[in-house]
Amino acid sequence: MRIYERYFARQIYLTFIFILFAFSGLFFFFDLINELNSVGHGNYKFQYAVLRVALQTPSRFYEIIPVAALISAIYVFAQMAANSEYTIFRVSGLATNQALRSLLKIGIPLVFLTYLIGEVVGPYTDQLSERVRLEAMGSSVSSNFESGVWVKDTLTARSDGEQVTRFVNVGELKPDATISNVRIYEFDSKFRLSNVRMAKSGKYQPPGHWQLTGVTDTQLIDVAPPTGTPADALNPVYRAKQVSLPEYSLRSELTPQILSVLLVSPDRMSMFNLFRYIQHLTENHQDTQRYEIALWRKLLYPFAVFVMLVLSLPFAYLHTRAGVVGVKVFGGIMLGMSFQLFNTLFSHIGTLNTWPAALTAATPGLVYLVLGLVGLKWVDRH
């Protein structure tokens, strides 16, 4: 780095650290207040609430980093403009495009930091946070359905190569990924119900098997119609054969990682888990729109740091008479919040209208990048 770049970087990084922890502390306080509603349920005490909110801090860092980069850069440039430091840099030969390139170089470590937190630290601590709460409250994970979680599982039988489709109903999913009150409805390649299994509990045993206990296996076998009577596909006749088994090893494409998507929202999952879950949904011919948008947002969101830094540079060209430092910082906060709001709102609109996932995820960043470049060109001319 050149001397002026090191100076910019030192000022921006120091301010960035302060703003990041200040905003995180504010969110920690609000999250803790919201969590107090659950304190006292089961064994969920105040210290568990503090631990749960603390484990959510890395995800807050991930959300805040682009906005913190914007505010810190605006503050630094506003201070330089107020003290005429940036004017001296410009008189010394610092062109606008040079300043922009230097600013983007400063943003590269912040982009890597965002990826690190969003892909490694955040998803892991979010799952730990949910487990702390659920284990303390003695609760289980379930969907909004009263019957529990419904998952589709499609695989190919090893014996004859016939495709088998299962609809798995999990009554309770424990934080340790064990399941209980399981019902499995199995259909053959012609979508005829061929088997119903019920199990009291189950535990995953890699690779690709669930060890079920307390199993009741009901096989449905076609009964041929009497001689001379035509078969009626809409009114089939079955013969049921029921067997009780203490244990049963079930081959399945479902894994605890796929079921763990219920512990965290798609926006807080890692790209690897999102990609695997999208593959699972695609193989089972299910809608992937919401998760594809979440995947593209995870891929593109760290680059919002560059967008925010581009938006901050025009503030260096606004002199003190155009507004005090506090007003500029407040404008930066509003600009950053509007980006977050627009980014979230556009994702929901894209999901409802089934727009292409890549376009839905990239549009907010591109819009604000254009605004930043237009603003930079305007202040450079005036």
pLDDT in tens, 344-375: 899 889 888 888 989 999 999 999 999 988 98
Average pLDDT over residues 331-339: 86
Q: Does 343 lie in the same domain as 321?
A: yes
Q: What is the pTM of this model?
A: 0.75
Average pLDDT over residues 318-341: 75
Residue 66 confidence (pLDDT): 93
Residue 280 falls within a domain, yes or no?
no
Residue 190 confidence (pLDDT): 76
Confidence at 289, pLDDT banded by 50, 70, 90: confident
Average pLDDT over residues 294-314: 91
Residue the block writes with tokens 């409802």: 352
Q: How confident is the prediction for the chain on average, in pLDDT?
A: 83
Q: Does 351 lie in the same domain as 246?
A: no
Distance CA 68, CA 74 (A): 10
List the one residue out of 131, 140, 165, 163 whose CA is nearest residue 151.
165
Among 76-80, 254-258, 352-356, which is the least confidently predicted range? 254-258
Greatest mean pLDDT among 136-145, 184-193, 207-216, 311-320 lies in 207-216
Confidence at 171, pLDDT banded by 50, 70, 90: confident
Distance CA 36, CA 78 (A): 40
Residue 255 falls within a domain, yes or no?
yes
Residues spanned by the domain of 118: 3-138+289-381
Q: Does 318 lie in the same domain as 346?
A: yes
Average pLDDT over residues 121-131: 85
Distance CA 300, CA 365 (A): 9
Distance CA 119, CA 60 (A): 13
Is the model's pLDDT at 228 over the cut of 90? Answer: no
Is the model's pLDDT at 157 over the cut of 80? Answer: no
Residue 380 confidence (pLDDT): 73
For residue 337, what are its two tokens?
């919040």
- Please say which residue of 259, 275, 303 terminates a domain: 259
3-state helix, strand, coil in the chain (%, to 5): 60, 20, 20
Average pLDDT over residues 194-206: 88
Q: Does 240 lie in the same domain as 121?
A: no
- Please say which residue of 259, 274, 298 terminates a domain: 259
Residue 184 falls within a domain, yes or no?
yes
Confidence at 250, pLDDT banded by 50, 70, 90: confident
Q: Does 133 lie in the same domain as 8?
A: yes
For residue 203, what are its two tokens?
């535990």
Q: Does 251 lie in the same domain as 342?
A: no
Residue 221 confidence (pLDDT): 80
Confidence at 382, pLDDT banded by 50, 70, 90: low
> How many domains is the chain built from?
2
Confidence at 79, pLDDT banded by 50, 70, 90: confident
Q: Does 329 lie in the same domain as 235?
A: no
Residue 113 falls within a domain, yes or no?
yes
Confidence at 160, pLDDT banded by 50, 70, 90: low
Is the model's pLDDT at 144 over the cut of 60? Answer: no
Residue 272 falls within a domain, yes or no?
no
